[in-house]
Amino acid sequence: MEVNIKKLKRIYTISALIFCVVFFKCTSQKKTEYDIPSHVPPENRALLIERAEKGKVLYKLYCSGCHGIFTKGKDGIPNFTKVQIDNYHTAALIGLDPNNHAVAKKMSSQQIDYVITFLRLRKIN
């Protein structure tokens, strides 16, 4: 009987540790804030955030290895200007990317648009 109590205590302790680690991991992730103009209606604000969140996932998957917003890419954290974002967006959509981003060629125009929305709206501190 005492062996079972020791096993239960051990299982309880391990479970509590796993719960704490998972809870800490979930709460410690920094949420991205977006800079959306105040005149945007709430329903459009929600759509923009949804698009930006999709773009954030795509950026992590396709772009951050080199551009480094989420990892230590070759250029650190780029703070692209609005003009740079617009120029890249245009070039990527019409296929005239002077930097020859092979990754962008694998993405659909909608995926590129999501990434551009993320880059335009993310709040830079």
How confident is the model over 81-97, as a mean pLDDT? 80
Most confident region among 2-6, 8-12, 121-125 by mean pLDDT = 121-125
How confident is the model over 111-120, as a mean pLDDT? 91
- Band of pLDDT at residue 53, cut at 50, 70 and 90: very high
How confident is the model over 41-68, as a mean pLDDT? 88
pLDDT over 70 for what percent of the chain? 70
On the question of pLDDT at 123 being above 70, the answer is yes
So what's the pLDDT on residue 60? Answer: 85
Which SS3 state, helix, strand or coil, does residue 13 take? helix
Domains and CATH numbers, the chain: 42-121 (1.10.760)
Could you give phi then psi for residue 10, rounded to 5 degrees?
-65, -45
Tokens for 41, please give them.
Answer: 């209606």
Average pLDDT of the residues of the chain: 77
On the question of pLDDT at 75 being above 50, the answer is no
CA 58-106-113 angle, to 5 degrees, is 50
- Band of pLDDT at residue 25, cut at 50, 70 and 90: low
Q: Which residues contact 91 (CB under 8 A, 6 or more apart)?
A: 97, 98
- Band of pLDDT at residue 72, cut at 50, 70 and 90: low
Taking the C-alpha atoms of residue 14 and residue 16, their distance in angstroms, rounded to an integer, is 5
